[in-house]
Structure 1
Amino acid sequence: MPRCAVLGSPIAHSLSPVMHRTAYEVLGLHDWSYDAYEVDEDGIGPFLAGLDDQWRGLSLTMPLKRAVVPYLDTVDAEARAVGGVNTVIVDVEGRHGFNTDVPGGAAALRERGVDSVEDALVIGSGATAEAMVASLRQLGLRRVTLAVRGMDRGVELAERLEAGSALSDRITGSSATPLAVEVTGIGPDMPRATQVVVSTVPAAAVAPYAQMLATRCDVVFDVIYDPWPTPLARAAQAEAVPVASGLDLLAHQAAAQVRLMTGREIGVSLLRDAALGALTTR
């Protein structure tokens, strides 16, 4: 029986099992299984060491996306560029790391009609913000402003982004314009106009500025999906500004994981509907 799973800590909230199990059912992969395991940084090494030949793939959530890297035999270019892995494929040649969050974020924006981006405001300084900048970079991002709660972390992320942009271009052979990064606080000094506003922080942190932000951009991407809509999403909808959500990101990255793990394609809308259904019953 081919086995897959999602690992993380905490893990009980994960929507990955319902999405992947839905994919297996639709694809007729009735002998495949997908489970959830509570695993922290100290446990990831032993868990990987215990995998047998039934295992095909792992989805990883926090806090394992960076912690897993030393235990892998290969890491693809996108995962190397952002320094994090959310997917591990297991085969006879070893354990291989990928990052489907990056293409998933770009695909979620394309679904909202965004095919190219030159400038963006990204709110937050964590791993999700870093992955979202990489997603925007796939759409041509040249300038980004980071709006952060802690300036020290913001500056550190800005330095990583600029270095990571150069590394990614070298890895992929791209001749794209180097990424320009500015850092500001979350507040009224955030840019007065930008193509895309991406929020990766709790909804309450952005709520006081939701209306201001919604009137200054062409599209909003709020990675929060529960509860939904967030104040930012609600303000954008009131202004007829297209909105992408964390559920869109989750479904797109999960579809890419299914493809990597099974070699089969699955519709994103099927996975999104499955996740939404699970949310409504919580």
Structure 2
Amino acid sequence: AVDVADVARWLEQRPALGITYAVSHASYLINLADGRTEANFPLTLQSPATNGLMAVDFEQNGDYSIFVACENGNLYGFNRMGLPVEGWNPLSGAGKVRFPLQHFQHDHKDFLVALNENGQLLVFKKDGSFRFPPIETQGAFRSPPGWQQTASQLRIAATDAGGICHVVNSEGTSFRLRLPVGRNEQVAFAFGDISGDNSYDYAVSSDSLVNVYAYRDQELQLAFSSRLSSVPDSLFMTPIPGLEKAGLGMLNRKNRELLLLLPDGRLHPDFPLSGASAFTVCDLFDNRRRMVVVANEAQVYAYRIR
């Protein structure tokens, strides 16, 4: 295991703003160069934060903006000096947003994505106005949305607890996919390139069954199905150094159990491992060795795997 300070020292060697995090009514920005809190931080929030902060460098020039969702249904934006961002001071009426906000750029446009408890998929421009009208899914969700962009296409995908996937393009046009898995109850979802063909795949779980769907000849087909030893609370994609494909990570919070499915549907032989959060697989020390980095209580653990 490695301490949080070791991970911070590793991050310090990479170009980064720092560490951003929210604790109830306050948000912090730590400068990794000297370990000190940035000027005007911590920020006092008007309402408790519902999840972590999102830091966005809109112009790729190191001038970050920080966004957070709060219990009062508002979204807030601040610049690096802790001053409110125009259009986000606050952005009212977003509803309760339990999943982290997401940002990406497509066709020289900014997309800031939020999914609220009412099943509304909200996509904003940089100035806080809607990129397109809210998508009314009428669903409840256990997993955050995912997205993929290519030079010619953008897909935002959000799958509800009943296994219905809502797919939205850059103009706000949407359609639905049915992703059968088990009894289609309390479905968890992840979106990523497991098959390695540059077209993202749809992973869903219900009870202890996981199904992965991929496009073959323009038709969505079941790529593989796997029966697990436990029921995962959440699914997420993680890169696997040395492979051009993603792995499917899983977390059972009650048992603090981590699982990793390989692109062929097999369980990685070094799993299960212990942890309390989603994890990533990376070459942590640039030595061509795969490491699993995960939070566990007040520490960050790094496991070496094959």
What is the TM-score with the length of structure 1 in the denominator? 0.36
Structure number with higher helix proportion: 1
Greater C-alpha radius of gyration: 2
Instruction: Report 1 or 2 for greater relative contact order, CA contacts < 8 Å, sequence distance ≥ 6.
Output: 1
The TM-score with structure 2 as length reference comes to 0.34
